[in-house]
Amino acid sequence: MILLPDIKTATLLVNNYFDKIHWFVLVFHQREFRDQFQQLYASDWQNLDEQKCRLGFVSVFLAVCAVSIQYTSSDQKHNLEDTGIEQLVLQDEILDALRLKLIDIASLGSLESIQTCVLLGTYYLYHGQPELAWPICGCGLRIAQALNLHRQSSSGSSTPDLDDPLQRAQESRKRCWWAIYDIETFCSMLYGFPLSISDRDCDVKPLHPYAVRSLDSPGDSVFRRAAGQPTLLSYKYFMVQLSIIVKAVLGDLYGLHRSSEEPQRRGDKYELKQLVETITRLDARLQKWSQSLPVRLSLKEAIKASTSSVPNSLDRCFEDHLFQLQALALKLGFDNARILIYRPLLSYRRVATSHATSQSSVTQDRQATDPFQTSIQICRDAALQISLLGSLPIFQQVADTYAVSFVSQHLFTAGLTLSILTSLEPLSRESHESKMGLRRLMEMQTGLKSKSIIAEQGFGILKTLMSLLLEKEAKKLLDFETKGTGDQILPNPQHLISLPQSPHQADIQASDQSTVSPMETSKDIFTSIALPANSPSFVDNDNMLRFDIGEDPSMIQALFNFEQGSEENTHANTSMELSGMASLIDNSFGGQDLGWIWSIDSYT
């Protein structure tokens, strides 16, 4: 109990948690937590033995304080210093105590045990320590399954009343389950860890975005539901739906849920046709999810409501501020999922078979959608879309929230994507666009480095990769011996894909002609953004079977160079950056790393 801070410090940290962290994790109910917090400090806890106190809630409360310390503002830090609080010392002491007591906390087998595991697990995951995050989250998952949180309750209202103790308890169970589901899936997506949850074994309903409180005026929730407007709970509802899709992608395309007895085959064009069908189906689910988002959770609305400063939590504008942050996170999640879905097709190319030599066949072949080339553009476009988010005012505010590492990890994925795609044709127009996007991503990481170790390490890695790309481009540019090297500078009609011009292309062209403020640029870019086009119609195109399909040597070489990048630069004057690369790219825990999807053998 000696670790509990004084009431003034505790109140500051709790308020900060609900302003900057709660909306992103949503693992318990705010009012219930605050009531227990007040009861804890109202009692004579200094004279209580730890076993007589509610160890479960105390562990959750301490985890809240530890996480909140990480995201205090400058003014809050000064206030804590004035009271004699050494923040980092307090944080380290709390985290050490929670780790030492983790077995005791887990043995309680309660919702508080799960909540503590979620908060600790997400903290370590978002701060570059997956070796701690994965087992802690796994501990929370086992407790949740033991409590049957993945099973639907036999009773319950269609619209839960959070002032009814029974219904609130049922919603608390769902919040714990979906928080565990979300972080488990995120761990697997980031590091390639095996999936631990079987959706076929789960029938629990999603969180209800329009829960009411009977003791308050129910008009707001009822009005929002009737008008199709979101609540602050809607973000978690849609993020869970996205996690379900991502989990299906990891299982169906990357084999993270595959039985060891299942063969891992690739290369046969019938097998690849099945792969294309699976990708089309998954992307259709993703597009349907995107189209179901409320307008207020789209970037269009976020830009219209953008402000240059963070509003006070008591201000009515604070809700708009949270909606903007949520819209940004959902946009990042969508584009990252597209890269994840289409990555398996990037290593292949098609070549017309010998019997397809007639004029009609050649014409038909040119008109047919090439799923492999289209996948390259989809991944490039998704990564470039992410690179444009840095021009939004709301992006500057994400650094002070729990979402900063979530954002940093998605920036890193986009950066790796552009780095690899840039190396395919170093002198092409697409390569130039990708390099500009990569530079924007690095600039975004620079702004987040002070708040996220993922951003700091990611920046060092992308800087090293950019140096390699420029070195390769310089060699190509000065190569006058190889025939056709300069042809890449001009657009090659055979490489163009019949897709609408993406917003980032218009942005890049405009940026070369005039200089505008970041705010004006962001409005120009995103105000006209429509929902992404429907999935390319690959499945209906049986012309695919008339082609010989093989691995693309240029992509395989690019992936090989990526995997060997750290070794090739061992003697470079980038020891600090390569140290970060070693800890992030070549994580020793389980042999996994943040760049695992770009491994040549990463997919089934």
The answer to whether residue 227 sits within a structural domain is no
Do residues 121 and 189 both lie within one domain? Answer: yes
Amino acid at 600: I
Which three-class secondary structure string do you get for 343-365? HHHCCEEEEECCCCCCHHHHHHH
Query: Quick one: pLDDT at residue 403?
Result: 93
What confidence category does residue 124 fall into, taking pLDDT thresholds of 50, 70 and 90?
Answer: very high
CA distances in angstroms from 248 to 176, 188, 377, listed in the order given? 21, 11, 23
Task: State mean pLDDT over 24-29.
Answer: 94
The answer to whether residue 14 sits within a structural domain is yes
Q: How far is it, in rounded angstroms, from Cα 48 to Cα 44?
A: 7
Q: Which of 336, 370, 363 is nearest to 499 (CA)?
A: 370
* 114 or 524, higher pLDDT: 114
Average pLDDT score over the chain: 78
Q: Which two tokens stand for residue 207?
A: 């969180």
Cα dihedral 492→493→496→497 (10° resolution):
-160
- Residues of the chain with pLDDT > 90: what percent? 44
Query: Quick one: pLDDT at residue 310?
Result: 57
Evaluate if residue 387 carries a pLDDT over 80.
yes
Query: Quick one: pLDDT at residue 103?
Result: 94
Reduce the DSSP state of residue 18 to 3 states and report it.
Answer: helix
Range from 132-146, 487-501, 529-543 that averages highest in pLDDT: 132-146
Length of the chain: 604
CA distances in angstroms from 591 to 456, 582, 583, listed in the order given? 22, 12, 11
The answer to whether residue 437 sits within a structural domain is yes
Q: In terms of residue numbers, what domain contains 206?
A: 7-217
Range from 157-171, 328-342, 521-535, 551-565 that averages highest in pLDDT: 328-342
Evaluate if residue 17 carries a pLDDT over 90.
yes
The answer to whether residue 80 sits within a structural domain is yes
Query: Quick one: pLDDT at residue 24?
Result: 94
Do residues 549 and 450 both lie within one domain? Answer: yes
Residue 391: DSSP 8-state? G
β-sheet bridge partners, residue 212 = 161
Do residues 21 and 110 both lie within one domain? Answer: yes
Task: State mean pLDDT over 387-395.
Answer: 92
Q: Which of 285, 408, 385 is nearest to 341 (CA)?
A: 285
Evaluate if residue 461 carries a pLDDT over 70.
yes
Residue 530: DSSP 8-state? P
CA distances in angstroms from 307 to 4, 310, 328, 546, listed in the order given? 37, 7, 14, 54
Evaluate if residue 531 carries a pLDDT over 70.
no
Evaluate if residue 82 carries a pLDDT over 60.
yes
Secondary structure (DSSP) of 249-293: HHHHHH-TT--TTS------HHHHHHHHHHHHHHHHHHHHHHHTS
Amino acid at 269: K
Query: Quick one: pLDDT at residue 249?
Result: 95
Q: Is the pTM of this model over 0.85?
A: no
Amino acid at 26: L
What confidence category does residue 514 fall into, taking pLDDT thresholds of 50, 70 and 90?
Answer: very low
Per residue in 296-345, pLDDT (tens digit) is: 898 877 666 655 455 555 556 788 889 999 999 999 999 999 999 999 88
What confidence category does residue 350 fall into, taking pLDDT thresholds of 50, 70 and 90?
Answer: low
Per residue in 404-422, pLDDT (tens digit) is: 999 999 999 999 999 989 8
The answer to whether residue 314 sits within a structural domain is yes
What confidence category does residue 546 fall into, taking pLDDT thresholds of 50, 70 and 90?
Answer: low
Do residues 273 and 204 both lie within one domain? Answer: no
Evaluate if residue 538 carries a pLDDT over 60.
no
Last residue of a domain, one of 152, 187, 217: 217
Cβ neighbours of 482 (radius 10 Å): 8
Query: Quick one: pLDDT at residue 272?
Result: 80
Evaluate if residue 567 carries a pLDDT over 70.
no
* 272 or 564, higher pLDDT: 272
Query: Quick one: pLDDT at residue 353?
Result: 55
Evaluate if residue 571 carries a pLDDT over 50.
no
Task: State mean pLDDT over 383-407.
Answer: 92
Do residues 367 and 439 both lie within one domain? Answer: yes
- C-beta separation of 96 from 2 below 8 A: no
Q: Do the bridges between strand 547-551 and strand 348-352 make them parallel or antiparallel, or are there none, so unpaired?
A: antiparallel
Q: In sequence order, what are the residues at sequence separation of 6 or more whose Cβ sits closer than 8 angstroms to the Cβ of residue 354?
A: none
Last residue of a domain, one of 200, 217, 234: 217
Query: Quick one: pLDDT at residue 157?
Result: 62
Evaluate if residue 590 carries a pLDDT over 60.
no
Query: Quick one: pLDDT at residue 587?
Result: 47
What confidence category does residue 475 fall into, taking pLDDT thresholds of 50, 70 and 90?
Answer: confident
Query: Quick one: pLDDT at residue 386?
Result: 97
Q: How far is it, in rounded angstroms, from Cα 477 to Cα 470?
A: 10
Q: How far is it, in rounded angstroms, from Cα 72 to Cα 317?
A: 20
The answer to whether residue 508 sits within a structural domain is no
Do residues 285 and 199 both lie within one domain? Answer: no
Range with lowest mean pLDDT among 24-33, 205-214, 281-290:
205-214
Half-sphere CA count of 586, side-chain side, radius 13 A = 11
Evaluate if residue 565 carries a pLDDT over 50.
yes
Range from 20-29, 307-316, 485-494, 527-536 that averages highest in pLDDT: 20-29
Evaluate if residue 135 carries a pLDDT over 70.
yes
Per residue in 227-259, pLDDT (tens digit) is: 668 888 899 999 999 999 999 999 999 886 554
Reduce the DSSP state of residue 483 to 3 states and report it.
Answer: coil
Task: State mean pLDDT over 443-448.
Answer: 95
Tokens 């470039």 — which residue? 384
The answer to whether residue 62 sits within a structural domain is yes
Evaluate if residue 569 carries a pLDDT over 90.
no
Evaluate if residue 570 carries a pLDDT over 50.
no
Q: Which two tokens stand for residue 123?
A: 């903290």
Do residues 212 and 274 both lie within one domain? Answer: no
β-sheet bridge partners, residue 229 = none
Do residues 200 and 285 both lie within one domain? Answer: no
Evaluate if residue 128 carries a pLDDT over 70.
yes
Do residues 190 and 306 both lie within one domain? Answer: no
Count structural domains, the chain: 2
Do residues 288 and 186 both lie within one domain? Answer: no
Secondary structure (DSSP) of 421-447: HHTTSTTSHHHHHHHHHHHHHHHHHHH
Do residues 171 and 112 both lie within one domain? Answer: yes
The answer to whether residue 245 sits within a structural domain is no
Do residues 201 and 273 both lie within one domain? Answer: no
